[in-house]
Structure 1
Amino acid sequence: MSSDYAPPDDPLDVIHADHEILIVNKPSGLLSVPGKGPHLADCLIARVQVAFPQALLIHRLDRDTSGVMVFALTRHAQRHIGLQFEKRMTKKTYVARVWGMLDPKKGTVDLPLIVDWENRPLQKVCHETGKSAQTDWRVLRNDARESRVRLMPKTGRSHQLRVHMLSLGHPILGDPFYAQGEAREYERLMLHSEELRLRHPDGGEGVKFRAKAPF
């Protein structure tokens, strides 16, 4: 990743901002946080902090995934929402385009995941040492070549959606790690965080934020 990092120069796409939280639509190809070395310094949190110096990280999206991310604007909000993520109280919905015709129309993948140490940062299914991971999926439309799916992760493991779709034999299109052949030959990873639901740290009211998939 370090040698070919060329993040997009899209302007910051703010979906919502108030006294506690900031919601941003992250572009594909931009790291959430800095990598190792000055060539990987450009990232979403750095760009956010130019406009919102007090912004604090709560969670991440993979470099190649786009979509809704929440940042805290106070320490209270960071603790409050961080705990919601930890206790799986947040609800995240993704849209993806995957290889081939996915059938049946809906289901759940329940496969434990762990880092593939010899091939980091890749992850793999491992029933002995993997951490519990579950993803609900539903087909929105499909044809013989590809399927458009909605993905609802119940857990938040690294590369979870990418590995779970691969385990079904339907890798996410454009995935530089897990797709092969024609499935890999797309301009970006076809995975987008479409909606995030959480409790607002000021009062606990349920709120939801959405960003339409650009593909």
Structure 2
Amino acid sequence: MREIDVIVTEEEAFQRIDKYISEKEDDLSRSRVQQLLQEGIVCVNGNACKANYKIKPKDHITAVFCDEIEMEAKPEQMDLDIRYEDHDVIVINKPKGMVVHPAVGNQTGTLVNGLLYHCKDLSGINGVLRPGIVHRIDKDTTGLLIVAKNDKAHTALSKQLQNKTVNRLYYALVHGVIEHDFGTIDAPIGRDVKDRQKMAVTATNAKDARTHFKVIERFAHYTLVECRLETGRTHQIRVHMQYIKHPVVGDEKYSYRKTMQTQGQLLHAHQLTFVHPTTNEKITVEAELPKQFADILEELRSQQR
């Protein structure tokens, strides 16, 4: 089941409800939203409404429905960089440019397609398009991702994420020189009211978000930091580093343009620690920096010699 539960802000008001929901929920098409409205599933302040309804400030929009299956994730043979695997769990080192699960515009070549070929049984909790996916990382973010092979493992790992006991460490190359060695960014993240395709630090329909960072290496105009996620909001590290005026290098959504040819943000999930859902053993998995990221760091070091 899927749920929508939002309150309209002053900035969001006076637009059609079908347009508003389709922009707020990235993976819901406008036609799908109109179908939900026609079926009386979407309510405003407890009452069903039509697609042309103009939302007002403080309107409470709710809906509970099943995701419509418009496509099927099919197995595809591909070389997966598996860093850990047993009967319950797989940890994958995801390359840059790979989408985690199928969606409109990306129905093939995703990590899920490769997982379905490699592993016949995956957790079904997230449905047929996201089997086994406990958490996600962005298309152009590289590094470690944990996948559940069964529902028991999925439930246990999801609880660890909710309880903030999964330790996720990322390397990020950011613009500017950060002077202090450690820091915590505690700033709520929600949908950007000016651009619905982006997230932002905002008080509008936002959720708590905390990122802890440590400086690893400083360069003339850049800083290599290690970030630890306490929460797991969409684009969290990218948004938080932009918020403190040190955006991630190569980030086409949140950073400066035309600085380096990186084909996406230099952000890498290099370490994952979790408690095994069956053995209760603490598992730590690591993945070295991808070649492009490592080469850029070496070039920056050579410029300082």
TM value normalised by structure 1: 0.90
The aligned residue for residue 162 of structure 2 is 86
For residue 67 of structure 1, report the CA deviation from its aligned partner: 0.4
Q: Determine the C-alpha separation between the residues in 2 that align with 1:36 and 1:159.
A: 20
Residue 186 of structure 1: how far off its partner (Å): 2.4
Aligned counterpart, 2:95:
27
State the alpha-carbon separation in 2 of the partners of residues 117 and 40 from structure 1: 29
Asked whether the equivalents of residues 101 and 112 of structure 2 are also in contact (C-alpha less than 8 Å), the reply is yes
Give the CA deviation at 1:185: 4.1
Q: What's the offset of the Cα at 1:181?
A: 2.8
Residues in 2 aligned to 1:183 and 1:88: alpha-carbon distance in whole angstroms: 35
1:165 aligns to 2:254 (yes or no): no
Q: Which amino acid aligns with 1:22?
A: I
Which residue does 1:76 correspond to in 2?
Answer: 152
Equivalence for 2:85? 17
Q: 1:182-207, CA deviations, whole angstroms, 9 ceiling, x for partnerless residues?
A: 44642331000011111101121111
Give the direction of change, closer, same or farther, for the CA distance of 1:145–1:10 in structure 2 (3 Å limit). farther
Cross-structure match for 2:299 = none
SS at 2:101 equivalent: coil
- Residue 148 of structure 1: aligned partner: 224
Aligned letter for 1:19?
A: H
Give the superposition deviation at 1:23: 0.9
- The one of 122, 144, 149 aligned to 2:198: 122
Deviates more, 1:147-156 or 1:41-50: 41-50
Aligned CA-pair RMSD: 1.7
Deviation at 1:43, TM superposition (A): 0.9
Question: Compared with structure 1, are the counterparts of its residues 184 and 10 closer, same or farther at alpha carbon in structure 2 (3 Å cutoff)?
Answer: farther
**Which amino acid in structure 1 is aligned with residue 140 of structure 2?**
D
Q: Is the 8 A contact 1:111 1:127 kept in 2?
A: no
Deviation at 1:155, TM superposition (A): 0.5
Residues paired across the two proteins, number: 206
- The structure whose residues are more often strand, as a share, is 1
Structure 2: gaps of 5 or more residues: 1-76, 123-131, 294-305
Match of 2:120 among 53, 70, 79: 53
Amino acid of the structure 2 residue aligned with 1:84: Q
Question: What is the TM-score when the length of structure 2 is the normalising length?
Answer: 0.64
Unaligned runs of 5+ in 1: 1-8
What letter matches 2:89 in structure 1?
A: I
- Tell me the alpha carbon deviations over residues 47-74 of structure 1, each in whole angstroms, 9 at most, x when there is no partner: 1111112132211111111101111112
Q: 1:105 aligns with which of 177, 181, 203?
A: 181
Q: Distance in 2 between matches of 1:185 and 1:10?
A: 27
Cα drift, residue 83 of structure 1? 1.2
How far residue 118 of structure 1 moved from its aligned partner, in angstroms, is: 4.2
Name the CA shift for 1:118/1:128 in 2 (closer, same or farther; >3 Å). Answer: closer
> RCO higher in 1 or 2 (8 Å CA, sep ≥ 6)?
1
Instruction: Report sequence identity in percent.
Output: 29
Matches within 5 A, 1:169-208: 169-183=245-259, 185-208=261-284
Q: Rg larger in 1 or in 2?
A: 2
Q: 1:104 & 1:68 partners in 2: Cα distance?
A: 28
